[in-house]
Structure 1
Amino acid sequence: MSDHHSHLWPGVPLALGSAILFGASAPLSKLLMGSIDPWLLAGILYLGAGTGLAAVHWGRPLIGLPSVEAQLQPQDMPWLAAVIAFGGMLGPLFLMLGLSQTSAASGSLLLNLEGLATMVIAWLIFRENVDRRLLIGAGAILAGAMLLSWSGQALRLDTGGLFIAAACLCWGIDNNLTRKLSSADPVQIAMIKGLVAGCTNFILALSLGAALPSIGLIGAGAVVGFLGIGVSLVMFMLGLRHLGAARTGAYFSLAPFIGALLAVIIFRDAITVQIVSAGLLMGLGLWLHLSERHDHDHAHEAVEHDHAHTHDDHHRHTHDGPVSEPHSHWHRHEPMRHTHSHYPDLHHRHGHG
């Protein structure tokens, strides 16, 4: 049994798809922001993500689509609580506090720190493998994102800037902790996160005097949230499963460029030297990552876990009867040693000398 898929598949398309959907949500949210309080809009977006994914999660049996994903287990609950706290509650709260005390130019530029925080935490704390090629590629993507956000004004790290930096740190922690849950059902995780974060932001916004918009505007915000946050988050978590946090975070940093391109179409913004230069930098970073070949002899220790899988070189166990693929169940990996191209996915989080 051999897996003939490229090591780029399906992790890279999933990470890029996540960036495209999230990037598209920015200009679409801007269309709604003139009619909806920003904090209330954040709640609507997350509630749209949570309720939409709840319909997908609970509607699977009704459409004959059984889940092949592993379900959350009791030992996952502390990680899930931390993900919701950092990514769904503290991050948005710090962002709102920051945006209220700093300029839009500084705020948009500082938000790019999320990608940097994700990569640094993954490399330094969780010891994901990184080489010079990956560092240069990640630096080019981040430089493009920062250039795209730069308005020519001086960047001041005032109190508002510190709050936004704290928000990015929270989301960087969130992205890395989510990796701990990447073997479980991403729809279930994103659903819970969306519902909890959405309810929190929605209630807080109303308690501070935000006015309820029309049903049509709420529906539009919910659709944007379902696709731009909910589906994007599911794809991001699947990307984590295959690529690890550092590389998924790097690809996700392309989101501002996607938003800028859509802004050109929706708002008829001019195609500037700034946008072209940012695109070239991000394109260079993307090429460096896509052309990476991490290939060496490595050993797998014995491990037992549960996740969706097919029978490939890493899954050689047997079943008592015929099974469909992919499927999910508790299984054991026997020790093995081999050589092939790989990313730091569920089965390749080994150390390097």
Structure 2
Amino acid sequence: MEGMHVSAGRLAIGFAILAAVLYGISSPVAKILLNTTSPELMAALLYLGAGIGMFAVNLVTRARNREQKEAPLAKKDLPFVIGMILLDIAAPILLMLGLSLTTAANASLLNNFEIVVTVLVALLIFREAIGRRLWIAIVLIVAGSVLLTVEDMSSFSFSAGSILVILACVCWGVENNCTRMLSLKNPMQIVVVKGFGAGFGALLIAALASGMQTDLVSVAAALVLGFFAYGLSIYLYVRAQRDLGAARTSAFYAVAPFIGAGISFAVFRTPLTPLFALAAGIMVLGAYFAATGGHTHFHIHERMIHEHRHRHDDGHHSHVHDPPVFEEHSHEHTHERLEHDHPHGEDMHHVHVHEEK
């Protein structure tokens, strides 16, 4: 069982890093598209691209394999779905407004602040365990974020664009925890709901703000960017949250800002200032501490009834089927009280209190 948990954890880390790579391209490419498209409309197109693209992928997947292995969203999930959509409407609009006022490299690195908000919300509201290394990471990332928001050290003035990007990170940090509560459900369905819900919401705001001016090439480019940088990225992110929890998944997602910053320097030839280099160095160190962790200890699983995709050789799903089922499948099932010891993260099966961090 221990080997299986390690293997699942490594696969989840791979999902999180690939999600980060896909998202990392969004800021520099969106910066270019903002020359012809308003921030509100850009935000709408990115999420609509995610929704349309993943809806098409879902249709193809279901046509090839009619057996439903994932648990669908249910009525009790509605509060988290609504919160997720509202925050996903606000966050990309704030990010696009910030991108229009600051450099793509600066905005990319500031996205690391999302880790801080995600971790704090996971700790204070959803009771995820936060270890010493994550606390060190929080302090370093906050310090780096503050440096990046300072426009002029001599006068200590703040960049409006940077502050807008940080506000976007606050929205996404809270939204990550809403998504984490849905992480056992069908990830494609989650992305489609996110995409169409947030996309049409932002589109309404764009129409009310008279920000619908663009061209067909920009629309097509934004939709494609949305499918890869938001749609596939969110899908992989949700899959990673199943095994890692919100805090650690967000930590591995810290790869994204550095990818975005690297592309920005290559494309826009942004000058590398000493302040930016210092902030980047601090954030690299913070991302390292955030991404290295995990723990093993004796813990208790209280009795639980829920529905999600699972298999019966993972040490947590010991209920019996007649006839036996060996492949992955989904149905409502009961976890009886269980006490054991194995390496684990802060996924939905390991929400327990740690006396010592």
Provide TM-score, normalisation by structure 2. Answer: 0.84
Aligned to 2:315: 313
Correspondences of 1:250-261 after superposition (within 5 Å): 250-261=251-262
Could you tell which deviates more after superposition, 44-53 or 129-138?
129-138
Counterpart of 1:139 in structure 2 is 139
Distance 1:134-1:262 versus aligned 2 partners, 3 A rule: same
Q: Report the Cα distance in structure 1 between the residues aligned to 2:239 and 2:152, rounded to whole angstroms.
A: 37
Deviation at 1:140, TM superposition (A): 3.5
Q: Which residue of 2 aligns with 1:15?
A: 16
What is the RMSD of the two structures over their aligned residues, measured on CA atoms?
Answer: 3.2
Identity over aligned residues, as a percent?
37
Q: Summarize the Cα distance change of 1:143–1:254 in structure 2 as closer, same or farther, 3 Å threshold.
A: farther
Kept in 2, the 8 Å contact 1:60–1:67? The answer is no
Q: Which residue of 1 aligns with 2:88?
A: 88
Residue identity matched to 1:323:
V
Take 1:288 and 1:69, find their aligned partners in 2: how far apart are those partners? 33
Higher alpha-carbon deviation: 221-230 or 261-270: 261-270
* TM-superposed deviation, 1:255: 2.2
2:54 maps to 53
Q: Shift in Å at residue 340 of structure 1?
A: 1.3
The one-letter amino acid paired with 2:129 is N
Contact 2:149–2:158 at 8 Å: present in 1 too?
A: no
| Compared CA separation, residues 221 and 166, structure 1 to 2 (3 A) | closer
Cα–Cα, structure 1 residues 163 and 152, in superposed 2: closer, same or farther, change >3 Å? closer
CA positional deviation for 1:283: 4.3
Partners of 1:158 and 1:287 lie apart in 2 by 27
Distance 2:161 2:267 in 1: 29
The corresponding residue for 1:267 is: 268
* Cα distance in 1 between the residues matched to 2:352 and 2:37: 47
Describe the shift of the 1:165–1:270 C-alpha distance in structure 2 as closer, same or farther (beyond 3 A): closer
Quote the residue 2:122 is aligned against. 122
Paired with 2:31 and 2:300, the residues of 1 have a C-alpha distance of 49
- Distance in 2 (CA, whole Å) between partners of 1:293 and 1:240 is 14
CA distance in 2, matches of 1:65, 1:193: 23
* Contact 2:89-2:199 at 8 Å conserved across structures: no
- Residue identity matched to 2:346: P
1:202 aligns with 2:211: no
Amino acid at match of 1:337: E
Q: Tell me by how many angstroms 1:313 deviates.
A: 0.9
Q: CA deviation at 1:81?
A: 1.1
How far has the Cα of 1:59 moved from its partner?
2.6
Rounded to whole Å, the distance in 2 between the matches of 1:122 and 1:346 is 12
Change (3 A) 1:46 1:224: same
Q: Which amino acid aligns with 1:313?
A: G
Distance 1:306 1:56, change over 3 A: same
Instruction: Report the Cα distance in structure 2 between the residues aligned to 1:54 and 1:177, rounded to whole angstroms.
Output: 21
Distance 1:203 1:24, change over 3 A: same
Query: In the TM superposition, what whole-angstrom CA distance separates every residue of 1:275-295 from its partner, at most 9, and x where no partner exists?
Result: 665555444344434542411
Cα deviation, 1:307-353, whole Å, max 9, x if unaligned, reads 11222111222222353532222222122211111111121111112
Question: Residues 17 and 152 (structure 1 numbering): CA distance in 2 closer, same or farther, change over 3 Å?
Answer: farther
In structure 1, C-alpha distance between the alignment counterparts of 2:291 and 2:164, rounded to whole Å: 34
Deviation (angstroms), 1:265:
3.2
Conserved? CA contact 1:301–1:335, under 8 Å: yes
Equivalent residues of 1:15, 1:252 under 8 A apart: yes
What secondary structure, in the 3-state scheme, does the structure 2 residue paired with 1:244 have? helix
TM-score normalised by structure 1 residue count: 0.85
Q: Counterpart amino acid of 1:104?
A: T
Moved more, 21-30 or 282-291: 282-291
Structure 2 match to 1:341:
343
Amino acid at match of 1:52: G
Give distance in 1, aligned partners of 2:93 and 2:33.
20
Greater mean alpha carbon deviation, residues 340-349 or residues 230-239: 230-239
Q: Which residue of 2 aligns with 1:104?
A: 102
Q: Secondary structure at the match of 2:346?
A: coil
How much has 1:50 moved relative to structure 2? 0.9
Q: Offset of 1:181 from its aligned partner?
A: 0.9
Give the match's secondary structure for 2:333. strand
Aligned-pair CA distance for 1:63:
3.2
**More displaced, 191-200 or 167-176?**
167-176
Are 2:215 and 1:214 equivalent residues in the alignment?
Answer: yes
Deviation at 1:256, TM superposition (A): 1.7
Gaps of at least 5 residues in structure 2 are none
Deviations 1:100-128 (A, max 9, x none): 9x9537x9486654322111111122221
Superposed, which structure 2 residues align to 1:1-80 within 5 Å? 3-6=3-6, 8-64=9-65, 66-80=67-81
Letter in 2 for 1:342: H
Match of 1:350 in 2: 352
CA drift of 1:42 comes to 1.3
Distance of aligned partners of 1:52 and 1:294 in 2 relative to their CA distance in 1, 3 Å threshold: same
The one-letter amino acid paired with 1:136 is: I
SS in 2 for 1:315: coil
Q: Is the 8 A contact 1:307 1:328 kept in 2?
A: yes
Displacement after TM superposition at 1:10 (Å): 2.4
Displacement of 1:270 in angstroms is: 5.8
SS of the residue 2:345 aligns to: coil
- For residue 5 of structure 1, report the CA deviation from its aligned partner: 4.1
